[in-house]
Chain A
Amino acid sequence: MTNRLLVILILTMVILAGLPSRPLLAQESTSVSGEIRQLGRGNDDRQIVATLAKAPRLAVQLLIDELRPVNETRILASEKRPEAEHVLWSIRALRYLTGGKDFCGQTRHEFDKSEFERNRKYWLYSRHRTCVSFFAMWPSRGTEYVAPQDAQNEIILKWRDWFKDQGASFDYKPLLNPKPEEWLW
């Protein structure tokens, strides 16, 4: 009888101890999700990314869920494309939170000789040289060039595979006072 009471008491304590932590975790996840949803949609994106650095592992997991191919090939500084910007800012945040990690992809797209395509090719290959970035910025114009869809898909897969393999054990060290070229361009 005493043993049964003891077991019930221990089980009750375990259940009670777990109760507050579950809502807290859920609360943190909801809060981080809320921050991430705002990225690229007209708020102070750099401030949001700085906030995400308080829970980098969870943020990285949720940011990878936000990645999807975008249809835009170029976004001029004068243009507003919040849905595409949301994805580009998710990539920026991933770079920031992982200390500068970035993936590139191969493309079968043939860039033609037009000025637009020559610029797009130039900037997309500028970081990794042998494969294209998800996007790249021409800083003196504020123009963002976006990778062809096949490369976008490959890069998204690379992020997912990386997180599946290393996300739990990765040592998350967000960038410290990074230069724009380290994560924004």
Chain B
Amino acid sequence: MPFINGKFYMNPAYGRALENARANESTDGTQGGHWVTIDGRHVLIQGRQEAQTPQASPNQLAHLRQVQKRRDEAKAEVGYGETSGIVPEKSADSPNNASPYQRSTWDPASTKNLQDARKNIMDISERNGIVKKSKPDDPNNKIQQSIWQDNLSVAKNSHGDMPGRYFFIRQEGKGPQRPPASAGFGQGKPISEYGPFRNVGGGDVPRGNRTFIDIYDK
């Protein structure tokens, strides 16, 4: 996958165009470059040539940003579809009766760990598209919207670089601890493991406070 200006892009032409367009926003447009055609649109690819060339237009920039937004949302749908019922562990000093969705009671390390797990799952979805995708179905549901935002923020950093091709979510001590043999993966040791988290939703994983996300490469 091409690595452009510190980011990975599925589509190299878009990646170059987007990064250069971003760079062009703070330049005077006289640094040269060449034009490519993307989806029928002419886009400036900045280069070292000394030719006098115009910048990407505002419309082109808007189009590229729209493409990037759609890509981020598609990734966020994976994280949301697969993990929306999972929340981080409670911090040690939070009250016993705190709602699991009360973010101020979340343990910071566990919160980061869950975000890392989501990124890994989103990265895996680039190689293995058989994943659950969904979005919040109620725009007024604050819990749904906050979890969606968590996934959206991770999606922006998902570039497919984290390892693994499969993942399995389990509740330690309840139910199966690895996928069934009929799944065709996960019969050996996972390559990495995230958790424990709290599964407060459904999604066919038993509820509980010892939820783990295992990553497998075969």
Contacts and interface: CB of A to CB of B under 8 A. Distances in A.
A185 B128 CA distance: 12
B175 A119 contact: no
Judged by DSSP, the binding face of B is loop
Interface stretch (A20-28, A99-107, A135-143): A135-143
A142 B130 contact: no
Interface residues of B, number: 23
B2 interface: no
B183 interface: yes
B205 A137 contact: no
Nearest to B128: A181
Nearest to A116: B202
Interface stretch (B16-24, B144-152, B166-174): B166-174
A119 B128 CA distance: 19
B182 interface: yes
Contacts of B82: 140
A123 B134 CA distance: 12
A77 B206 CA distance: 11
A115 B202 contact: yes
Q: Report, as a range, how many residues of chain A touch the other chain.
A: 20 to 34
Contact of B182 (A89, A116, A179): A89
20 contacts: A45-B181, A46-B181, A76-B175, A76-B204, A89-B182, A122-B132, A138-B132, A139-B130, A139-B131, A139-B179, A140-B131, A140-B169, A141-B203, A179-B184, A180-B183, A180-B185, A184-B182, A184-B183, A184-B184, A185-B184
Interface of B: 82, 128, 130-132, 134, 166-169, 175-176, 179-185, 202-205
Interface of A: 44-46, 76-78, 85, 88-89, 92, 115-116, 119, 122-123, 126, 137-144, 179-181, 184-185
